[in-house]
A and B are shown apart, each in its own frame.
Chain A
């Protein structure tokens, strides 16, 4: 049983008091002229700079504010936090600092507000690291093209609209079409990567949402073990507009720590940016900035572009070391550091020159990190040519459109694969998936063209009917239940069965059941084939075996079906 040695502690404190050197504190102080609605007008502080952090009432612990407008005789400031205690005439201290948030390992698994204060009741956040909210996006030299996939676990996305690590992919659609569900499934799908070199750290930023919705999202993540690698940043609809405005930047800063300092892959979901734009509009109008289109301020594009530009794939740095050199080695044998994609080839060439048997190329730890962004925008009545949607579409590297018509027709996820785009696409896709996906795209495109005929109910020739049937089955194949992301290898097998016609003789309503049963069969009886496909990430080596397995499985499935029907009737 330990007892605290009070005498020792007392003597330490006594010594500190005796040795204490009081100093005169110098500060720049202004006065509050008017305050309300989350903003304040401040008199004085002539040397304050735009974006500077201010403190109201108490220099160290008072509510924080940020300088927004610099005017002739006063400053317009936004108040971050409780503004109800601030009165006219209160002191305002300038700090000479920019807004920053705590970042680091201590944040993982926690639910915090945009200033880093905990909201989950699990105790204070102790982190030695802080990062500024606004950070300059890396330039061209520090980046390299996106080359690794970020698997969402959602079949239509991973096959035809693949996302790479470092890409920005917009999820856009009307309310209640499943936008948050796509993001949450993506986060859950990273569970298998956690603990490996392939790990992805996720940040989910909830802006302007109902706290009850956020609570259920957090609970879902917790149930599926996703909170082990996720940070949740919340600025709910009842929170002041300034907090909703900075929330996405705070989430980005938290992800950037892992990207820059630890070279890890990260994912940032901004749910949703429409509400952030509305909060920014509120602040700008209250501070009397001139309104533009739809009453948004003139810099609402910059609001989103500077956030999304911070997502990137950082250039990997490589060195050539002797085989068997320790993990900690930071110097190459020839003293050279190879950067980016050209660096990859050069380093391989140099390693060969020095001796293939004795030398190898390694990526320097802490480099090559990435930040993938999944911003979410809500459209009204499908209007994607409204102001904010068009802004964000022009910034991101592609969009995933979710449509209410598809949703209510039972196609869930309600992805319109015809108009959804990923500008990074196949370059960051598993080779096996790339192979089956092209056929999938063609089948679905043909199906969409012919859909109109299907409605007419006219007599069709055999080829057209076959295309319609194939398309209908592929649409069925792409459906999946919520919170059940698919492993990419399972997706490859599933789509392979579809595009090679093995589903054509099944009724469309049985497709999902067949897929489930086939995958189970694969895992139970042919795990080594599955592992081979997963490891090699190429179809040709296993294609023949795969065809055999599916061909043999089909009669078994038909038998099982007959038995069931026989039993039930």
Chain B
């Protein structure tokens, strides 16, 4: 049984598929991606505009007019048409979801994969290359690194590909080492008590 989010995502998926097909026909799928990404980043940054797109209190015709006025000449025809089509179908609010699905489909088409890297300090170029080659050898896809600096790691990296997370951070190693030493120490002491007690 589906929640609101599931239904919107299913609809977004359909629009994204159609958009990608059209973009492929015109050979603009990757430039469209960059443009689409900046639009979505803008929507995320401007609460007023995001509300304007999503709200059912705004009349569809009014919105159509505003979109045409604001975006004609500023974005490619295909992206403007997408927004107008979504508005006509009363789905102007799912633009960010359509982008997510479009990105996912494009990644599959181009054999790319997002790789989230958290490191204690910013990565050096050679480290980046090493990660990229290791991941592409393991997954067979072209890794797109999404980097984040997190000093709480103390050292090392945490790499997340899809659902799987590879934790090689120093903070985690210290936690595990502490637990292992306590456990082994406890066993050692319990098994050879006489060594550790002095009468």
Contact = CB atoms under 8 A, between A and B. Distances in A.
A29 B10 contact: no
B1 A26 contact: no
A385 interface: no
Chain B: interface size category: 20 to 34
A22 to B, nearest CB: 5
Interface string B9-28: 11000000000000000000
B188 interface: yes
Nearest to B172: A25
A71 B4 CA distance: 12
Interface stretch (A8-16, A268-276, A483-491): A8-16
B167 A25 contact: yes
Given A24-B166, A25-B166, A27-B167, A9 B1 contact: no
Bin chain A's interface residue count: 20 to 34
A2 B197 contact: yes
B163 A20 contact: no
Given A73-B5, A288-B1, A3 B198 contact: yes
A355 to B, nearest CB: 48
Interface of B: 1-3, 5-6, 9-10, 160, 162-168, 172-173, 176-177, 179-181, 184-185, 188-189, 195-199
A174 interface: no
Contacts of A47: 163
A25 B162 CA distance: 16
Interface of A: 1-5, 8-9, 12-13, 16-17, 20, 22, 24-30, 33, 44-47, 60, 71-74, 288-290
B3 A17 contact: no
A1 B197 CA distance: 10
Chain B at the A interface: mostly helix, strand, loop or mixed?
helix
A12 B164 contact: no
A490 B160 CA distance: 71
A13 B199 CA distance: 22
A17 B185 contact: no
A395 B195 CA distance: 59
Contacts of A16: 180-181, 184-185
B5 A28 contact: no
Contacts of A30: 163
A29 B180 contact: no
B196 to A, nearest CB: 5
Contacts of A26: 164-167
B198 A73 contact: no
A20 B177 contact: yes
A168 B197 CA distance: 53
Given A24-B168, A289-B1, A13 B185 contact: yes
Given A28-B164, A30-B163, A3 B197 contact: yes
Contact of B6 (A4, A27, A60, A71): A71
22 contacts: A2-B198, A3-B199, A4-B197, A13-B185, A20-B177, A24-B167, A25-B176, A26-B166, A27-B167, A29-B163, A29-B164, A29-B165, A30-B163, A45-B163, A47-B163, A71-B3, A71-B6, A72-B2, A72-B6, A72-B9, A74-B3, A290-B1
A4 B198 contact: yes
Contacts of B3: 71, 74, 288
B6 A44 contact: no
A30 B177 CA distance: 25
B16 to A, nearest CB: 14
Contacts of A25: 166-168, 172, 176
Contact of A8 (B2, B160, B162, B195): B195
Given A27-B167, A72-B2, A5 B185 contact: no
Nearest to A19: B184
Given A26-B165, A26-B166, A71-B6, A12 B185 contact: yes
A16 B177 CA distance: 9
Given A4-B198, A25-B176, A44 B185 contact: no
A47 B165 CA distance: 13
Contacts of B199: 1-3
